[in-house]
Amino acid sequence: MAQVRVEVPTTAARVWDVIADGWTYATWVVGASHIRSVDPGWPEPGTRIHHSVGLWPLVIQDVTEVVAVDPGRSIDLEARVWPAGTAHVRLELLEQGDSTTVTMTEHPRRGPLALTPRVLVNAVLVPRNRETLSRLSDLAAKP
C-alpha cells in the first residue's frame, strides 16, 4: 500500500471542491490525460469519471468509480487502468487550523498490478502520488 500526505494551505472545503469537480480530475491526477465525461451526481457512490490514461497515441479509455464518500472528509475510488488492473484509492482530508492534511492511500486490487511485489509498486506509486497531491494542493490553494 502506497501512502503519501501533504499539507495544503487552505480549508478542507476548498480541497473538497476540487475533488468534487470531476472535470478537474485530469488536471491533478498524474496519468489521467483527458476527461471524456463525468456521471451526473459525481461524487456519489457508483458514479464514474470516464477518462483517458497515457499520452497520445498510446491512450487507454477507462473509468474511475466512487466506492464510498464522506463529503468534505474522504472519498474511496476504484481506479481502472486495464490491462494493468485496478487500484483502490482513498483520499482523506483533515482540516487543522489554516491548513488541511490530505492523505492519499493506494493499493492495487486486480490484474498484474496486484501480483507485482509491493516494493516495486510503491517505487512507482509514491512519487506519482506525491505529484498528484502537489497538483491538488496547487489547485485548491490558488486564490
Summarize pLDDT for 68-86 with one digit per residue, the tens.
999 999 999 999 877 778 9
> How many Å apart are CA 16 and CA 95, to the nearest integer?
11
CB 85, CB 111: distance < 8 Å: yes
Q: What is the pLDDT of residue 9?
A: 96
Summarize pLDDT for 6-62 with one digit per residue, the tens.
999 999 999 999 999 999 999 999 989 999 999 999 999 999 999 998 888 888 899
CATH number at residue 123: 3.30.530.20
Range of the domain at 97: 2-141
| Collapsed DSSP state (helix, strand, coil) of residue 7 | strand
Summarize pLDDT for 112-140 with one digit per residue, the tens.
878 788 888 888 889 999 999 999 999 99
Q: Could you give the number of structural domains in the chain?
A: 1
> How many Å apart are CA 105 and CA 88, to the nearest integer?
8
